[in-house]
């Protein structure tokens, strides 16, 4: 009753416009649909191995024809009490051999399709990571890491069923029913006519239901991504939520998001049950009509529809064995129909990401070529950058090797932007930056970044040990260099306070260390890497005086080892201990 009422309501929604007009309009929009184009591009890259997999799947399905013929001959001989056309033992052996061949073909098809699906998902993940790694962290409109993590993990996994189930089913449904229809029609044109009428009705109704299935899948994907993003953001802000006494409000909002996801999931499941009901209805009608015709023909009531009069028992059994397999590829396609809808939703999100304008860093993100030679002088000429809907013009600057320079100015003057420009993390809208006598462009940015260290306001840690966070290689750090770097950055006390010392695992937010300690660890990372230039953005912001002094001491230690220091700051104590000041905005 629930299925019937839901079918009626869905039918009413689809008939708000003529369903056939809607289907026609959707067909016309296929070429302009970015999701379909994106999904088609994925599939075409592995067309040959998928075609081989589909060939095995089709061949294994068609092997049922000789198997059914053997069974029909043996059963007809038993009913008619006559010797079979083939001896029982060879018949059984042939049947078993064909069955083993079918099983082997299906296994090979599934295995090859699984490998193709793995390649598709791996390629899409690799391309997405490579693309996002070149996106500037200072760019506008950058999506949250939670949304990206959801897309990289659970959403891209939705492409696996599409490749392993839907694509094989789509190819089988184009070949197997047609082959079985030809075989059945060669015996009885009436049985063939029944299949010819009942078969096409299933794809027509599945196409209409598929329109609602895709919309439901897209809404389900959005709800899943929203819940994952909200959960990750709230976990990161757990301390702030507790301080603001907002636990209950957070729980209520999370419960509301979870309820939305539950409703979206049930919507997808309702459509899935409806589609299976429609399929079973038409396949049952088709099988029943063929069975009725064969039964009355064998009884002698019907004397038409067969090329031999009357229809023999062997022919009748053979037809009855083939008819269910005529509908089986359609069943497989229907069960995989929602895999395609989910894959289209993911492909649409990927296409939307690719269309969105984004700000990229300089460089190609590959392995850095040989380092820049010569004196590491940093100079700018007519430098400008568009940010926040306005363009900031910077004074011409020149920083010599070993200098310790403060960049000062009021908030919004562009201190952080200038640091990002000099590090190659933002592309300028005008002017030029030179490092070591070479323009800072895509050809030289990777080499330049391999020679610098960056200490941001919010240091990012790897989800690995402290040793790996300093050396950026897990378990292979030079112990003497590591100890020297920690000592120079005044971070030995940080290590001592941790339960497992340098082997203590730090979360991405540096759990177990304070803000000042995290910044000193970042300075130790730069010293360990022998960075020749260290850029620091407000390294003493939000720190008490004693902690700020330790961070300043760590920066001075890096300077004494020969590193050039370029520091954006408001701290007068830090400014006083640097060589000179570059002023921006009203302070210029």
At 169, which CATH number? 1.20.1560.10
387 and 458, same structural domain? yes
Range of the domain at 396: 378-587
174 and 39, same structural domain? yes
**Regarding beta strands 452-455 and 430-435, do their DSSP bridges make them parallel or antiparallel, or are they unpaired?**
unpaired
Residue ranges in 300-414 assigned as alpha helix (H): 313-355
Residue with tokens 């005008």: 430
The tens digit of pLDDT for each residue in 351-371 reads 888 888 788 888 887 666 656
Residues sharing a CB contact under 8 Å with residue 488, sequence separation 6 or more, in sequence order = 524, 527, 554, 557, 558, 561
Q: Is residue 171 part of a domain?
A: yes
Query: Could you tell me which residues are beta bridge partners of residue 464?
Result: 506
382 and 348, same structural domain? no
Q: Per-residue pLDDT for 498 more than 60?
A: yes
Structure-model confidence comparison of residues 121 and 299, the more confident one = 121
Q: In what order do the strands lie in the sheet with 533-537?
A: 452-455, 533-537, 564-568, 404-408, 580-583
Contact (Cβ atoms closer than 8 angstroms) between residue 450 and residue 371 = yes
Angle subtended at Cα 471 by Cα 554 and Cα 550, rounded to the nearest 5 degrees: 15
- The residue-averaged pLDDT of 311-340 equals 87
Q: Is residue 416 part of a domain?
A: yes
d(CA 105, CA 456): 57
Q: How many CB atoms lie within 10 A of CB 355?
A: 8
Angle between helices 64-80 and 313-355 (to 10 degrees): 160
Q: Is residue 214 part of a domain?
A: yes
Q: Is residue 320 part of a domain?
A: yes
Q: Is residue 6 part of a domain?
A: no
282 and 399, same structural domain? no
CA atoms within 13 A on the CB side of 583: 4
Question: What kind and span of H or E run contains 393?
Answer: strand 390-393
- With bands split at pLDDT 50, 70 and 90, how would you rate the model's confidence at 431? very high
pLDDT of residue 374: 66
- The residue-averaged pLDDT of 503-521 equals 80
CATH of residue 525's domain is 3.40.50.300
452 and 328, same structural domain? no
The SS3 of residue 506 is: strand
- The residue-averaged pLDDT of 475-488 equals 82
* DSSP assigned state of 579: S
Residues sharing a CB contact under 8 Å with residue 110, sequence separation 6 or more, in sequence order = 53, 164, 168
pLDDT of residue 236: 66
328 and 416, same structural domain? no
474 and 340, same structural domain? no
261 and 178, same structural domain? yes
pLDDT of residue 242: 74
d(CA 271, CA 241): 39
261 and 186, same structural domain? yes
Sign of the dihedral defined by the CA atoms of residues 12, 17, 22, 24, in that order: positive
pLDDT of residue 229: 67
Sign of the dihedral defined by the CA atoms of residues 117, 121, 126, 128, in that order: positive
Q: Is residue 515 part of a domain?
A: yes
Q: Is residue 362 part of a domain?
A: no
118 and 257, same structural domain? yes
Q: Is residue 21 part of a domain?
A: no
248: its two tokens: 């209950």
Number of domains comprising the chain: 2
319: its two tokens: 């037809």
What pTM was estimated for this model as a whole?
A: 0.73
Question: What kind and span of H or E run contains 387?
Answer: strand 378-387
- The residue-averaged pLDDT of 497-514 equals 79
Q: Rounded to an integer, what is the distance from CA 65 to the centroid of its chain?
A: 41
242 and 168, same structural domain? yes
317 and 180, same structural domain? yes
- The residue-averaged pLDDT of 310-325 equals 90
């Amino acid at each position: 009753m629930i299925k019937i009422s839901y079918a009626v309501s869905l039918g009413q929604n689809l008939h708000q416009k003529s369903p056939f007009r809607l289907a026609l309009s959707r067909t016309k929009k296929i070429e302009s649909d970015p999701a379909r184009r994106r999904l088609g591009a994925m599939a075409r890259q592995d067309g040959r191995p998928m075609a081989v997999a589909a060939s095995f799947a089709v061949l294994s399905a068609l092997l049922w024809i000789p198997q059914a013929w053997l069974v029909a001959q043996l059963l007809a001989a038993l009913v008619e009490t006559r010797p079979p056309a083939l001896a029982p033992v060879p018949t059984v052996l042939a049947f078993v051999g064909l069955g083993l061949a079918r099983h082997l073909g299906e296994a090979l098809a599934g295995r090859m399709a699984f490998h193709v699906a793995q390649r598709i998902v791996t390629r899409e993940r690799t391309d997405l990571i490579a693309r996002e790694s070149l996106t500037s962290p200072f760019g506008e409109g950058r999506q949250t890491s939670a949304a990206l993590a959801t897309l990289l993990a659970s959403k891209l996994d939705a492409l696996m069923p599409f490749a392993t189930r839907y694509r094989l089913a789509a190819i089988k449904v184009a070949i197997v029913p047609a082959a079985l229809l030809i075989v059945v029609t060669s015996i009885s044109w009436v049985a063939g006519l029944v299949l010819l009428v009942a078969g096409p009705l299933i794809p027509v109704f599945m196409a209409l239901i598929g329109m609602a299935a895709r919309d439901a899948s897209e809404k389900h994907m959005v709800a899943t991504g929203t819940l994952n993003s909200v959960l990750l953001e709230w976990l990161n802000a757990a301390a702030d939520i507790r301080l603001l006494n907002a636990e209950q409000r957070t729980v209520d909002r999370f419960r509301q998001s979870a309820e939305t996801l539950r409703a979206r999931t049930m919507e997808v499941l309702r459509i899935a049950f409806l589609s299976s009901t429609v399929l079973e209805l038409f396949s049952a009608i088709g099988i029943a009509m063929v069975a009725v015709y064969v039964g009355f023909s064998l009884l002698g009531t019907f004397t038409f529809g067969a090329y031999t009069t009357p229809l023999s028992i062997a022919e009748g059994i053979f037809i009855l064995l083939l008819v269910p397999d005529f509908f089986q590829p359609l069943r497989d396609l229907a069960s995989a129909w929602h895999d395609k809808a989910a894959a289209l939703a993911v492909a649409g999100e990927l296409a939307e990401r690719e269309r969105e304008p984004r700000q990229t860093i300089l460089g190609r993100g590959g392995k850095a070529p040989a380092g820049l030679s010569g004196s590491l002088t940093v100079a700018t000429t007519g430098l400008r950058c568009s940010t926040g809907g306005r363009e900031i013009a910077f004074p011409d600057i020149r920083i010599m090797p070993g200098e310790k320079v403060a960049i000062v100015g009021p908030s919004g003057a562009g201190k952080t932007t200038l640091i990002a420009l000099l590090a190659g993390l933002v592309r300028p809208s005008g002017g030029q930056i030179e490092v070591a006598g070479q323009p800072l462009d895509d050809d030289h940015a990777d080499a330049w970044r391999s020679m610098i260290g960056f200490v941001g306001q919010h240091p990012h840690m790897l989800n690995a040990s402290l040793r790996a966070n300093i050396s950026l290689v897990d378990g292979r750090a030079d112990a003497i260099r590591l100890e020297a770097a920690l000592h120079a950055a005044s971070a030995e006390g940080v290590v001592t306070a941790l339960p497992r010392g340098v082997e203590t695992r730090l979360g991405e937010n540096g759990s177990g260390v304070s803000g000042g300690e995290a910044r000193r660890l970042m300075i130790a990372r730069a010293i360990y890497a022998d960075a020749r230039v260290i850029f620091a953005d407000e390294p003493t912001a939000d720190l008490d005086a004693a902690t700020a002094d330790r961070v300043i001491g760590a920066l001075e230690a890096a300077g004494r080892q020969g590193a050039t220091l370029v520091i954006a700051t408001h701290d007068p104590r830090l400014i006083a201990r640097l060589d000179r000041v570059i002023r921006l905005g009203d302070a210029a």
